Amino acid sequence: MPEFITREQAQALLPLRPAMAHKGTFGKLLVVAGSLNYPGAAALTTASACRVGAGLVTLATARNIISLAWQSAEVTLLPLPEATLGSLGPVSLPELNEHVGNYQALLIGPGLGRNNTLDTFINYFLGLKPLPLKMRVGFHLGSVGEWAEAENFPEPVTLPPTVLDADALNALAKSEDWFTYLPANHFILTPHHGEMKRLLDLDELDSDLHDVATTAAQRWEQVVVLKGATTIIAAPNGESVIHAADNPALATAGTGDVLAGVIAGLVAQGLELFAASVLGVYLHSAAGALVREELGEMGTVASDLLPRLPLAIKNLRNAQFEN
């Protein structure tokens, strides 16, 4: 029988906060997110990672949307060249690859948008497929850029432990046997039901969602967080837990972006992928419970979760000391 996440289990996973620590103690996270249509996803994701204690969070996004996607003064920036206005593409890779090795964790996907150029960027960044022999790169007003030889682009780099969310998952779903190209036990995939159907190439998911998640985690050899009113976290070794906490206050745009940032922020602090996923789901739900208690079920928004995340951590840690 699958187990449910308990408060005691979540307490045991809380990362330590040494008194003599500095920001480097708690890790550096790089977030690749946002586009002209969805800048808020980047803002929510980076802010939530900060709110769960990551030492330094950097947003890598298209140069022309920096002012829209950057909402937290604490977040540093890596402006990237654009393929089209407000959207990343293969032209973004050289600068991104140059910096990604400086981080302990990576999150890619929230709000990136869905187009063929972005799909190519994600597939190449993750090492799923080589670039075509030639590719049109660059964007300028009145111009669509220039053709460049694929050999001018850098080879894929070794990525830190990585969370794949939202549009990164949608891009993966378009590549046949995508999971065979990813190094095992290196990624957390955070699909909602629609994204899971696309990843599995199914019209409908089986009613046994626990079996869906655990089977996928073992086949893909990655941690899977199947999001919903009941969320299933599954590891490649067969370990799994369930978190059931129906909360209509969380049924609003952007709460998934917050969850992705929470999990990635915990990975940056050194938690193993399954542990970060379990604790992240618990804290996200606990913050949602505080929102519902304080503000009610209607009219709440994803950003309401942000100031409640430290409170959820404080409550969990205090309860740990009371035991």
User: What residues does each domain of the chain span?
Assistant: 3-322
15 half-sphere exposure, CB direction, 13 A CA radius: 25
The alpha carbon of 155 is separated from its chain's Cα centroid by a whole number of angstroms, namely 23
pLDDT level of residue 139 (50, 70, 90 thresholds) = very low
Task: pLDDT band for 19, please (50, 70, 90 cuts).
Answer: confident
Q: Is the pLDDT of residue 1 over 90?
A: no
Cβ 265 vs Cβ 28: under 8 Å: no
Residue 154 has pLDDT above 60, yes or no: no
Q: What is the pLDDT of residue 70?
A: 84
- For the chain, the distance separating the N- and C-terminal CA atoms, rounded to the nearest angstrom, is 27
What is the b/e burial string over 219-239, where b = at least 16 CB atoms within 10 angstroms of the residue's CB? Answer: ebbbbbbbbeeebbbbbbeee
Whole-number pLDDT of residue 153: 55
Tell me what pLDDT residue 277 has.
98
Name the pLDDT band for 210 (thresholds 50, 70, 90).
Answer: very high
What confidence tier does 145 reach under pLDDT thresholds 50, 70, 90? very low
**CA pair distance 33, 38, nearest whole angstrom:** 9
Round to whole Å and give the CA distance between 127 and 234: 24
Q: Quick one: fold of 3-322?
A: UDP-N-acetylmuramoyl-L-alanine:D-glutamate ligase (3.40.1190)
